[in-house]
């Protein structure tokens, strides 16, 4: 399906999706990534997450398909029904998670990453999703960091220009080797686009030693979405070797992060990124998802968080 066909389909589905295009009233702004339930089909995802009180879904693959535009549920005539499923369940889409990496210097590989991001932008428009996530992602051995940062910023600017008429914003995640505010700020300022913003994966910045208040101080004006999860270090290993644990059972300051965001008036979703797809040994989504929702209700109540408007 090309872009023109997607835009035409989106227009025809607008009425049926109208209910799902606004944040669900009366629910706290909790989202959950489908990364955490790789064995669930679409109907199970919608049914379970809605019943546990989530307001939004972050789409990061369905079953074995990570390339979202190729998912049957989001293709052709089935898209209209999918949007109706979301509206009926009082859910919306917080964002689409692409795997596009902006650091790639090889022209052919870079073209593939940029094409993926553009396809996700087209789908986000059709699904009334405000954001598409991309990765920064690495510094190249022997290359001046300023050169890498400039390449990433250039790619983000190009995608921001493409996303603007679709009403979509590109959000670049604190990920890979770009986990510190000092490295992330230059790529955001260098992008020079109102359609480029920041996805704060607080787990990554905290592991790097940044306090939530410091990260927010430097990047708060760019934050549109968050990834939250907890973990514990594995004895005798590096700082990267950790086990994901249920929210509140680890040493990641999730509650402190929520306090910082809520008290600053953050308007986005608090999204649970439970990496079950990459770490099958961690708890099942039937345990981790409702536990997160319950814990976050407590955190937000204590921080003065309010239901999504």
Where is average pLDDT lowest: 97-111, 225-239, 271-285? 225-239
Q: Is residue 189 part of a domain?
A: yes
Q: Containing domain of residue 66, as a range?
A: 3-303
Beta strands 242-245 and 230-233 are antiparallel
DSSP string, 34-65: GGG-TT--HHHHHHHHHHTT--EEEE--BTTB
Q: Is residue 180 part of a domain?
A: yes
Angle (CA) 268-270-275 rounded to 5° is 135
Q: Is residue 309 part of a domain?
A: no
pLDDT at 128 over 50: yes
Q: Are 187 and 178 in contact (CB under 8 A)?
A: yes
Residue 177 burial (CB count, 10 A) = 14
pTM score: 0.90
State residue 237's pLDDT score.
78
Comparing CA positions, the residue from 1, 25, 53, 42 lying closest to residue 295 is: 53
Instruction: Assess whether the previous peptide bond of 137 is cis (omega < 30° from 0).
Output: yes
Where is average pLDDT lowest: 8-17, 70-79, 270-279? 8-17
d(CA 115, CA 168): 16
Helix (H, G, I), strand (E, B) or coil at 97: strand
Q: Is residue 134 part of a domain?
A: yes
Q: Is residue 308 part of a domain?
A: no
State residue 238's pLDDT score.
77
pLDDT band at 239 (very low <50, low <70, confident <90, very high): confident
Q: Is residue 223 part of a domain?
A: yes
Name the DSSP class of 68: G
Q: Is residue 70 part of a domain?
A: yes
Helix (H, G, I), strand (E, B) or coil at 178: strand
Q: Is residue 282 part of a domain?
A: yes
Residue 230 sits in a domain whose CATH number is 3.20.20.150
Give 5's Cβ-side CA count (13 Å radius): 8
pLDDT band at 244 (very low <50, low <70, confident <90, very high): very high
Q: Please, what is the average pLDDT of the chain? A: 92
What does the pLDDT look like over 157-216, one tens digit per residue?
Answer: 999 999 999 999 999 999 999 999 999 999 999 999 999 999 999 999 999 999 999 999
pLDDT band at 236 (very low <50, low <70, confident <90, very high): confident
Q: Distances in Å between the alpha carbon of 242 and those of 135, 233, 281? A: 21, 4, 12
What does the pLDDT look like over 12-71, one tens digit per residue?
Answer: 443 333 333 344 556 899 999 999 999 999 999 999 999 999 999 999 999 999 999 999
State residue 260's pLDDT score.
98
Domain count, the chain: 1
């Amino acid at each position: 399906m090309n872009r023109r066909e997607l835009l035409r389909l989106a227009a025809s589905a607008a009425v049926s999706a109208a209910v799902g295009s606004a944040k669900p009233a009366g629910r706290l702004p909790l989202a959950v990534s489908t990364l955490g339930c790789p064995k669930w089909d679409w109907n199970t995802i919608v049914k379970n997450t809605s019943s546990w009180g989530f307001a939004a879904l972050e789409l990061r693959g369905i079953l074995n398909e990570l390339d979202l535009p190729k998912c049957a549920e989001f293709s052709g005539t089935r898209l209209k029904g999918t949007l109706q499923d979301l509206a009926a369940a009082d859910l919306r889409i917080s964002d689409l998670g692409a795997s596009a990496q902006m650091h790639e210097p090889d022209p052919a590989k870079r073209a593939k990453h940029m094409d993926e991001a553009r396809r996700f932008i087209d789908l986000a428009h059709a699904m009334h999703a405000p954001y598409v996530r991309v990765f920064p992602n690495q510094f190249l051995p022997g290359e001046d960091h300023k050169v890498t940062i400039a390449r990433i910023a250039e790619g983000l600017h190009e995608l921001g220009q493409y996303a603007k008429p679709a009403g979509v914003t590109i959000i670049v995640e604190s990920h890979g080797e770009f986990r510190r505010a000092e490295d992330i700020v230059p790529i955001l300022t260098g992008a020079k686009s109102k359609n480029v913003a920041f996805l704060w994966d607080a787990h990554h910045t905290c592991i790097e030693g940044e306090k939530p208040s410091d990260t927010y101080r430097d990047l708060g004006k760019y934050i549109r979405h968050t990834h939250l999860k907890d973990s514990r270090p594995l004895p005798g290993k590096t700082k990267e070797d950790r086990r994901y644990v249920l929210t509140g059972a680890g040493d990641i300051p999730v509650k402190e992060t929520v306090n910082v965001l809520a008290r600053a008036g953050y308007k986005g979703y608090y999204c649970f990124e439970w990496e079950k797809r990459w770490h099958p040994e961690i708890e099942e989504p039937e345990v981790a998802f409702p536990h997160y929702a319950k814990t976050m209700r407590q955190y937000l109540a204590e921080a003065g968080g309010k239901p999504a408007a």
